[in-house]
Structures are given as C-alpha cells and as structure tokens.
Amino acid sequence: MELELGLAPPNTRPPAAGVVACGKRTFGEAFVKATLPLFVRDGDGDDDDDGARDGVDLHTDNKRKRLVGWPPVKSAHRRSSGGAYVKVKMEGVAIGRKVDVSLHGSYDELLRTLARMFPSGGAGGAEDEAAVTGQHEGRRRGPPYVVTYEDGEGDWLLVGDVPWEAFAKTVKRLKILA
C-alpha cells in the first residue's frame, strides 16, 4: 500500500481542486468539500526510524530530539504544560494513540504521523476492502479516512479549515473516521 495524502488548502475552494485523485469512488466523495482532509494508509515505508514510539520524532526537522518517557511526568501533566499531546482515536480501533501536535509544523506532517500510527493492520476491514476491490497500476489503497478534531469549545470539526497555527492551539483531540 502506498501513501496518498490529500489535503485541501486552508482557503475554501470548489471540490475538484482538493479531492485526492484516486480515480475511484469512495464514500468520502459523498462528503466532498474542499476542506476534506484525507489520508490513505500506507505500507510501512515510513517506518525507518529507530522503532521508538511517537515520543521520539527523528523525522521532524529543527525540532529538539525528545527522549521517550523523559522527563518522567505523567501524560496529564504533559498536556497542561503546553507540550500539546492530544489523543487520537480511530473508529473501530480499541486502542488509541497520542500525538504531540506541537512537534508538527503543518497539516501535512500531522497527517503523515497519523498515517504511520495507524498502519494497515490497524483497521483490518479497510485492507480487505482494498484487496477485494482490486486496484490499478499495482498500487493498493484503502478508502480515504476523514480526520476530525475537537476544539476548545467541545465542537467536532473537520481538520484543515483553519491555518495550522490556529488549529494547533485549539485542538483537544483527534478522531479518524473510517
């Protein structure tokens, strides 16, 4: 499987520009708006770091390399400290993840991290579906996923509407809808 990231530019545009050119109809198209943030799960091409969990982000440029579990503060403390760990849940997956939004500089980076966190094994149904529907050009993809987030006021919104900085300040948690 290969990664297809589709993210509409922050300013609203008519559908055509923003939709991932995957060439097949998916349920995501029913919701197609310019701001629909999509990512399609990858194989594990990205998994070439040292195998540490998301606490170590060797791939982010210019960010301080962070040690896993150091300093020894509980995750609740991390949240209130301004290191912006937010929970990520994917529909249908029992065990969620946590991602530090402040370590990312853009939506692209965040979506890449999310794609890596929820690899093909995470939501088995999608993998089967890809196998069943077959694919073109030897590239297999699952259906695109919709990424939503909860803001400071408790509302659930689609990721991608507001500038990254505004999003990073207000995001409380993420949910990936299958």
Partner 1 sequence: MGRGGSHAAPAAASPPWHALPDEVWEHAFSFLPADSDRGAAAAACRSWLRAERRSRRRLVIANCYAASPQDAVDRFPSVRAVEVKGKPHFADFGLVPPGWGAAAAPWVAAAADGWPLLEELSFKRMYVTDDCLEMIAASFRNFQVLRLVSCEGFSTSGLAAIAAGCRNVRELDLQENEIEDCSIHWLSLFPESFTSLVTLNFSCLEGDVDITVLERLVTRCRNLKTLKLNNAIPLDKLASLLRKAPQIVELGTGRFSADYHLDLFSKLAAAFAGCKSLRRLSGAWDAVPEYLPAFYCVCEGLTSLNLSYATVRGPELVKFISRCKNLQLLWVMDLIEDHGLAAVASSCNKLQELRVFPSAPFDAAEQVSLTERGLVDVSASCPMLESVLYFCRRMTNEALITIAKNRPNFTCFRLCIIEPHTPDYITHQPLDAGFSAIVESCKGLRRLSVSGLLTDRVFRSIGAHADRLEMLSIAFAGNSDLGLHYILSGCKSLKKLEIRDCPFGDKPLLANAAKLETMRSLWMSSCSLTLGACRQLARKMPRLSVEVMNDPRRACPLDSLTDESHVETLYVYRTIAGPRSDTPACVQIV
Q: What CA–CA distance (Å, rounded) separates 39 from 143?
A: 9
- 33 versus 78: smaller Cβ distance to partner 1: 78
For the window 104-133, what string marks contact with partner 1 as x by the rule CB under 8 A?
A: ------------------------------
- Report the nearest approach of partner 1 to the CB of residue 30 (Å): 25
Is there a contact between 156 and 17 (Cβ–Cβ < 8 Å)?
no
- 11 versus 80: smaller Cβ distance to partner 1: 80
According to DSSP H, which parts of 27-163 are helical? Answer: 75-80, 107-117, 124-133
- Report the nearest approach of partner 1 to the CB of residue 51 (Å): 4
- 21 versus 70: smaller Cβ distance to partner 1: 70
| Both tokens assigned to 115 | 């794609």
Q: What CA–CA distance (Å, rounded) separates 69 from 110?
A: 21
Q: Return the residues of window 22-81 that contact partner 1 according to CB under 8 A.
A: 51, 53, 55, 64, 66-78, 80-81
Is there a contact between 7 and 38 (Cβ–Cβ < 8 Å)?
yes
- Report the nearest approach of partner 1 to the CB of residue 20 (Å): 27
The SS3 call for residue 86 is strand
- 55 versus 105: smaller Cβ distance to partner 1: 55
- 85 versus 167: smaller Cβ distance to partner 1: 85
- Report the nearest approach of partner 1 to the CB of residue 88 (Å): 13
Number of residues located near partner 1, criterion CB under 8 A: 22
User: Nearest-CA neighbor of 103 among 126, 85, 80?
Assistant: 85
Q: Return the residues of window 82-101 that contact partner 1 according to CB under 8 A.
A: 82-83, 95
Q: What CA–CA distance (Å, rounded) separates 125 from 173?
A: 24
Residue 110: C-alpha distances to residues 54, 70, 98, 134 (Å): 12, 22, 12, 28
The contact set with partner 1 (CB under 8 A) reads 51, 53, 55, 64, 66-78, 80-83, 95
